[in-house]
Structures are given as C-alpha cells and as structure tokens.
Amino acid sequence: MATIAIYSLKGGVGKTTLSVNLAWCAATRSARRTLLWDLDPQAASSWVLAHGTPSNDAQAIFSRDVPLATRAIATAWPRLDLIPADGSLRGLDRLFQDLDKKKRLAKLLGGLKGYDRVLLDCPPGLTDTADQVMRAADVIVVPVIPSPLSERAFAAVKAHLGDRTALMPVHVMVDRRRSLHAAALSRNPDWPVIPMASVIEEMTVRREPVGAFAPRSAAAVAFDGLWRAVERQLAA
Ligand SMILES: Nc1ncnc2c1ncn2[C@@H]1O[C@H](COP(=O)(O)OP(=O)(O)OP(=O)(O)O)[C@@H](O)[C@H]1O
Ligand SMILES: [Mg+2]
C-alpha cells in the first residue's frame, strides 16, 4: 500500500480538486483499490464523493480508537472508498498535540488492509496535522498556483521536510496566456501542469470527478497524466 498526501501550506489552491481526481484516476484508470481519506473539517472531498447523510464524529478515529476500516464508505465508483470528514476534525491539531504521538496517523495507516493506494486530502497550514501527514506519506503532491508567493510557500514546505519524503510540486490553475503564469512555468518546466478550466469548477456542482463526466476534456487528460507521474514516482 502507498500513501499519497495532497498538501499545501496555502488554502484554496486546489488540494481537494487534486485529491478527488487523483483518487478517481487511481481507482478507475489504474484499477487500484483506493481510499480517499478526507482530513479537512471543511469536508469538501466528502461533499463531492459522498451523497448520504454526513457524519459528525470523524475525530473518533483518533480520540476513541474507532478502527479506520470501519469508517470507510463505498462511493459511486468501483474500487474507490472514502473516509469522510466533518466539523469534528476542527479539533484535530489540538488532539495530536495532546496525544503527543508523532506517528499516530502513520500507525493507523500501517494497520489498514485491503487498499493499494491511500490519498489524504489535507487542511492547509504547517500544523500538527500536517506533520502527522508528512510522516505517513510516501509522496506529497503540492499544488502550486504559478506565482512567486506560491513558489515561496512551496519552498517553505520543502525546507521544512528536508529529504524525508518525495515532494511532487504541480502547477495548477494554469492560464498560459498570463505572463506571470508563463514566467512561472518557464522557471519550473518539468513540473506537471493542471490547466485553469471551468469543468474543474463544475466538479463541485455535479459532485463527480472530472474524468467521470468530461473524460476527454483537457483537465481530465491532465489529471490522468499527473496520476501516471505519481505512479512513476512511487515506483522510483
Ligand atoms: N484547475 C482549476 N481550474 C479552475 N478552478 C479550479 C482549479 N483548481 C481548483 N479550482 C477551484 O478553486 C477552488 C479551490 O479549490 P480546492 O477546494 O480544490 O482548494 P483547496 O486547496 O482544497 O482549498 P482549502 O484550502 O479550502 O481546502 C474551488 O472552487 C475549485 O473548484
Ligand atoms: Mg480542500
């Protein structure tokens, strides 16, 4: 089993978008038994993929040792399960501090059976939750909007991590007509690119991964390519 975290210091940069679409690619394109674990109290991945009644005690996995596997629910797509988030995860940082076990999340994942790929949709920030995620992940995918400030945030994450874990920066929300974007892309020409696209915004209205409703769109093709790059990184 491999764990892929989708993480950024910054909010609103496309973590959830990448999480949902990469998880769908893992399950559908690579036929992997895939689990998407939503760790963000905003529960955006859960909103897209789970259409039943939301839970209200997601934190019980950490606070009451509720077994992880019992919290996984099936989605509408074969091989793709979800551990939903809810507002109870607002206290997760405090809980991790109080527990004082730096590898709690990694241990929980180590005991999980039946999945080939686990993706973690993370809340933003260099928090205790982020540290737990970084210790658990084999690869950390970091969405970066092409701008100097986002590159700075990425550099901060890289400095924080050192060589501990493989980092995969991805340029997201890219509009090549903008000179700022074109300049950023030329600074890092080998980073994968996800375009700015209205089908991606539509995902939260249709509550489906892009590949499920617009498989031939440039965005879906870009997610497929990014997923293949993640698989290559895992095999490296
Ligand atoms: N490539 C893209 N093209 C167009 N819109 C995008 C793209 N990527 C993300 N968005 C939109 O930007 C908004 C933020 O994206 P998303 O929720 O994935 O970010 P996030 O990093 O998970 O945010 P948060 O930090 O709040 O969890 C959403 O409305 C999403 O639909
Ligand atoms: Mg999010």
Question: 67-116 pLDDT, tens per residue?
Answer: 899 999 999 999 999 999 999 999 999 999 998 888 999 999 999 999 99
- pLDDT, mean of residues 49-73: 90
Q: Is 197 in the pocket of ligand 1 (CB under 6 A)?
A: yes
178 to each of 146, 175, 182, how far by Cα in Å? Answer: 10, 6, 6
Measuring from atom 31 of ligand 1, which residue has the nearest CA?
201
Q: What is the pLDDT of residues 170-210, one digit of tens each?
A: 999 999 999 999 999 999 999 999 999 999 999 999 999 99
What is the model's pLDDT at position 74? 97
How many percent of the chain have pLDDT more than 90?
Answer: 92
Phi-psi region of 3 (alpha: psi -120 to 50; beta: other; left: phi over 0): beta
Measuring from atom 16 of ligand 1, which residue has the nearest CA?
14
What is the model's pLDDT at position 54? 80
Is the separation of the CB atoms in 180 and 174 below 8 Å?
Answer: no
233: its two tokens: 């990184």
pLDDT band, very low/low/confident/very high, at 66 (cuts 50, 70, 90): confident
Q: What is the pLDDT of residues 22-37, one digit of tens each?
A: 999 999 999 999 999 9
Is the separation of the CB atoms in 42 and 32 below 8 Å?
Answer: no
Ligand 2 centre distance from Cα of residue 172 (Å): 14
Q: Is 174 in the pocket of ligand 1 (CB under 6 A)?
A: no
List the end-to-end C-alpha distance of the chain, in Å, as a whole number. Answer: 15
Measuring from atom 8 of ligand 1, which residue has the nearest CA?
14
Is the separation of the CB atoms in 9 and 149 below 8 Å?
Answer: no
State yes or no: pLDDT of 52 exceeds 90.
no
Range name among 59-68, 81-90, 129-138 with the lowest pLDDT average:
59-68
Single pTM value for the model:
0.97
State yes or no: pLDDT of 163 exceeds 90.
no
Distant-in-sequence, close-in-space partners of 94: CB < 8 Å, separation ≥ 6:
none
CA distance 232 to 106: 22
Q: Is 124 in the pocket of ligand 1 (CB under 6 A)?
A: yes
Q: Is 13 in the pocket of ligand 1 (CB under 6 A)?
A: yes
Ligand 2 centre distance from Cα of residue 13 (Å): 8
Mutation probe of ligand 1 site: the residue of 16, 48, 174, 194 with most atoms within 8 A of C-beta: 16
Ligand 2 centre distance from Cα of residue 198 (Å): 18
